[in-house]
Amino acid sequence: MSAPEFPNTPVSREDFPILSRVMSNGERLVYLDSGATSQKPQCVIDAQSRVELHSNGAVNRGSHELAAEATMIVEDTRELVANFVGASADEIIWTKNSTESLNLLAYVFDNVTRRANDQEVQDRFAILPHHNIVVTRAEHHANLIPWQELCLRTGAELRWIDLDDDGRLDLSTANVIDVNTRVVAFGHVSNVTGAVAPVTEIVELAHKVDALVVLDACQSVPHMPVDFTSLDIDFAVFSGHKMMAPTGIGVLYGKSALLKMMQPFLFGGSMVEIVTMEKTTYAKPPARFEAGTQPVSQIGGLGEAVRYLNAVGMDKIETYENELCEYLIQEMLKIPHVRILGPKDVKNRLGVVAFEVEGVHPHDVGQILNEKGIAIRVGHHCAQPIHQHFGVWSSNRVSLAPYNTCSEIDLFVDTLKTVRGFFGLGDEC
């Protein structure tokens, strides 16, 4: 295959040490699994190391220099991340990942339902048996199961917006949102199809009935400009490890006025105001929701990742990845017996492409690609309902990042063509 004229990557591949790795079979790594976990540039690795080497102290727990430096890292990064997603610093809460962020939210709703004496808080957050919570069939399990469980605990009904044949959200089924809807939770970008959700339309439907909107932004924040304030969502979550930062650090965004009304889920040090043997009062957000010692080096790494992404430019990243995704889809559509799960064009779509190879189990496809050093995701991608929508139990998935190249796509496509032949199903797919 002859690669077309293609722009250079918007980032320097030399910034990412792991991309030069030679795998155990002697093949050079081709990493096409950034939707699961992205790779880190050297500056992020160095930033995390600097914290451990020079500023390893407990946040808000001492007057010595190391503690002061650790606290400054945490709070400076909070401001940096807030600016990155169009928020205020007091609207950014540290968690360990998006799964924890979503569970935290669900349990806060549950706590309000059981405990809150403030009628205003009850009216805004309590989930009662006649209420419903709306999700979509496209959700990652982390944005489905916590709401399922909340409905089981409260007696509320779980409803969902369904999908069209391409796996995009079908707004004709959004009539499940009604006056009894309390929460509408959905992914900004599907981690299976790459389809971008119609956020404006769903937010308008939700807010019309005074429901709160929760946006899973894990697959959008690393790949496109995102402004939570402009989107007018109430809560959002995203994870550091999908945006060139370390694992173990996630973000929960909430509108300031809402966070002030909410009671905590985790209890302990740092999230309190006054504690007596009889009663405890809690700190203002975001500290109210950050019980315990914070992961300072991971937060420092996240801050450096945001600086790196800002320096490259999210507009450039989105444009480049869209061009790369379009080339990937065009080449995959030429291969017989390969079915793409999701839209076949790049309109309102990002660089996540799930697919199946007729007659070959996804794990076997993954193994053949691995023999060429190509890393992709195999399985149901923590999203079984959308796979059931497409009539399969699992799939393969390519997910792109700004460090991927056209030549890597060529190698992937050339190798994919050999899969069915390897299993005696034809010369090529």
**E strand segments, 138-221:** 157-161, 181-187, 212-216
DSSP letter, residue 144: T
Q: How far apart are CA 217 and CA 277, in angstroms?
A: 41
Q: How far apart are CA 229 and CA 203, in angstroms?
A: 12
Q: How far apart are CA 411 and CA 336, in angstroms?
A: 17
Nearest-CA neighbor of 318 among 355, 354, 353, 348? 348
Q: Which distant-in-sequence residues (6+ apart) come within 8 Å of 135 by Cβ? A: 143, 144, 147, 158, 159, 160, 161, 184, 185, 186
C-beta separation of 67 from 59 below 8 A: yes
Q: How far is CA 41 from the centre of its chain?
A: 19
**E strand segments, 168-211:** 181-187
C-beta separation of 369 from 398 below 8 A: no
Nearest-CA neighbor of 197 among 149, 245, 140, 118? 140
Q: How far lies 382's CA from each of 137, 196, 212, 221, 342, in Å? A: 12, 18, 24, 19, 16
Residues written for the chain: 429
Task: Please indicate whether residue 43 is annotated as part of the active site.
Answer: no
Structure tokens belonging to residue 55: 């500023």
Question: Active-site residue among 151, 382, 406, 429?
Answer: 382
- Residues marked active site are found at 382
